[in-house]
Amino acid sequence: MSTRLIWTKKALLARLHRGYEARKKFVESQISNGIAFQIRALRSRERWNQSELAEKVGTTQNQIYRLEKPSVTKPTISTLKKIAAAFDVALVVRFVPFSQLVDWVSGTPFLDTGLSTKAFAVPSFETENALFEAGVMIENAEKEIIAQLSRMGAAANATTALTECQQSAEPISTTRETKVVVIYGPAGGQNKRVRNPTRPRSGVDVQIPA
Amino acid sequence: MSDEVEDCIWTFLGFESAKEGRPVQTWFDGLPPDHLDAVKDRLGVLQVTSRGDWDEPFFDPLIGEGGISEIKFDPIKCMKGQFYYRVYGFFEDEAYIFLHATNKKVKNDRPGKAIAKRRLHELQESRADVHQIDLD
């Protein structure tokens, strides 16, 4: 029997799409479960009991007990900093896009590009979702282009032609404000604009080489 | 001094028999979505938690109860009341096998434990089987 994590990416995305309250609870749950279990695991690694950790943090055994109980744990950042220092580990407290939390919880490796202006201005769930849908539209547009080229009698070379076209294209750019997605524009070439017939509601146009 | 921690992922399996079908899976399938979320969040962290760290307040080894143990979930309060979900099971190799799941209504859930023990007995006598739990 296969072993995979309880939360799959697909199930998590479905959960987030249930609405704002579901997303709020998801974040709360990850914090309370995560902190409680991690303190417990760190303490176990060091083979300390709750009293020993309490002494190093400068608090009581009862407070450590409460920190390790997900249903009641409400640690302040100040307390977390003391706990991090006691274990001699770093502490990261920052806002992240939902996509990153989904990757983390589903055990999906992800690329963290580090400190940047974009990393500070985290996109909201709705913004991320809009960008994701635009990505799906690009995929649909690709399929449509292949189908068009096939109908033009270039079936055998359609995929190759598309790949070559992509390779010679200027960088893909997405502009949410104008809702225009530019793809496959050969450097210096002219583009033909077509509306994706499969997703007329979105208002996103796709440009392909003339 | 600290030791290297070995990575582990527990597989969650469920009791299955010709007579009862897949009772734990059926129980999970009947949970309201937000309750199932909370249950899965807890199982999600337990799944990657070393065996030695399965302990109170989210796990009770139920010493003296014939080999069964208990996963405890935080009380869920909602319009329909308060829910104290519990899953009884046991460890086997790299799996934790769910025998019985319930909304506990009394402090010492003797009926729930009795069901779990009976099912464990059936498994030990090869009169029942296990299946992969599906929580998607």
Domain boundaries, chain B: 11-131
pLDDT, one tens digit per residue, over B77-129 is 988 899 999 999 999 999 999 999 999 888 888 999 999 999 999 999 999 99
Question: Which amino acid type is present at position B116?
Answer: A
Which ipTM was obtained for this model? 0.86
Percent of chain B residues past pLDDT 70, beyond the cut: 96
Q: Where are the alpha helices (DSSP H) in A17-169?
A: 20-46, 50-57, 61-67, 77-87, 98-105, 117-120, 125-149, 158-168
* Smallest CA–CA distance from B48 into chain A, residue: A5
Dihedral sign of CA atoms A17, A19, A25, A27 in order: positive
Flag if A33 and B45 touch (Cβ within 8 Å): yes
Residue of A6, A35, A42, A105 to mutate, interface with B, max B Cβ within 10 Å: A6
CA angle B74, A103, A99 (to 5 degrees): 100
Residue of B16, B37, B56, B93 to mutate, interface with A, max A Cβ within 10 Å: B37
pLDDT tens for chain A, 210 residues: list them.
557 899 999 999 999 999 999 999 999 999 999 999 999 999 999 999 999 999 999 999 999 999 999 888 788 999 999 999 999 999 999 999 999 999 999 999 998 889 999 889 999 999 998 887 777 677 777 777 877 877 777 555 666 656 665 665 544 444 333 333 334 444 444 444 434 444 434 444 444 444
Phi-psi region of A91 (alpha: psi -120 to 50; beta: other; left: phi over 0): beta
Question: B40 vs chain A: nearest CA distance in angstroms?
Answer: 7
Could you tell me which residues of chain A have a Cβ less than 8 Å from any Cβ in chain B?
1-8, 10-11, 15, 18, 22, 25-26, 29-30, 33-34, 37, 40-41, 44-47, 68-71, 105
Tokens representing residue A107 in the block: 């055990």
pLDDT of residue A113: 86
Q: Which CATH class is domain A9-122?
A: mainly alpha
CB B56 within 8 A of CB B46: no
* Domain boundaries defined on chain A: 9-122, 126-209
DSSP label of A158: H
Is domain B11-131 classified as CATH 3.30.2310?
Answer: yes
Q: What are phi and psi of A173, to 5 degrees?
A: -130, 140
Which helix (H) or strand (E) segment is B95 a member of? Answer: strand B95-103
Flag if A1 and B11 touch (Cβ within 8 Å): yes
